[in-house]
A and B are shown apart, each in its own frame.
Chain A
Amino acid sequence: DQQVKQNSPSLSVQEGRISILNCDYTNSMFDYFLWYKKYPAEGPTFLISISSIKDKNEDGRFTVFLNKSAKHLSLHIVPSQPGDSAVYFCAARPDRGSARQLTFGSGTQLTVLP
């Protein structure tokens, strides 16, 4: 049973437009959420995170929104650039307790068209 779901395996967006990547989770114990970006033949790199005490976190062109009641988060990239083309993984873990491991979604391949 996937506790973190990314239902769109792929997304294509025109350069300069907004990219919106979505993620849903089922485990109500999850309190801390992260997005990672992965290029082919490289390991994932950390992009942005959000704690459940917030509903928005912004870092440059990247903004993550969290809707706890819907158990949904989204990553917005504005404006999108061709270099943003990569696989994006959503990840989550409980903020309380001792668990340190992350649970990942299946990823969304973003393609930004020039």
Chain B
Amino acid sequence: DVKVTQSSRYLVKRTGEKVFLECVQDMDHENMFWYRQDPGLGLRLIYFSYDVKMKEKGDIPEGYSVSREKKERFSLILESASTNQTSMYLCASSHRRYGYTFGSGTRLTVV
């Protein structure tokens, strides 16, 4: 069964902390994506990657960075967490231009 695994289901961090959200997929997919889900706003694309060491900004990249050192792993980094980054973060992967497989999400609360 194909899988996208996000390392944490729930996280609570303090304002100003550096936060790492990890995502691993076991499907050898070349494409990986980070979205955040907020009520009334749906899923908004933060960053995506089509290949190792490659990254592209999505619609809301401010305050975030990403790292993809290996094909199976795509990390989202909050350089200095702020309360407006409290959200549900969803990682997804896909092969070529097919649909996504999503992880279970990480509910991040910044206090």
* Interface residues of A, Cβ cutoff 8 Å to B: 4, 6, 9, 34, 36, 41-46, 49, 89, 91, 93, 100-107
Contact = CB atoms under 8 A, between A and B. Distances in A.
Given A44-B102, A49-B99, A104 B43 contact: yes
A89 B43 contact: yes
A34 B105 contact: no
Interface size class of B (residues with CB under 8 A): 20 to 34
B97 A100 contact: yes
Contact of A42 (B41, B97, B104): B104
Given A41-B105, A42-B105, 8 more contacts: A41-B9, A43-B4, A43-B105, A46-B99, A89-B43, A104-B35, A104-B42, A106-B42
Interface in B82-96: 90, 92, 94, 96
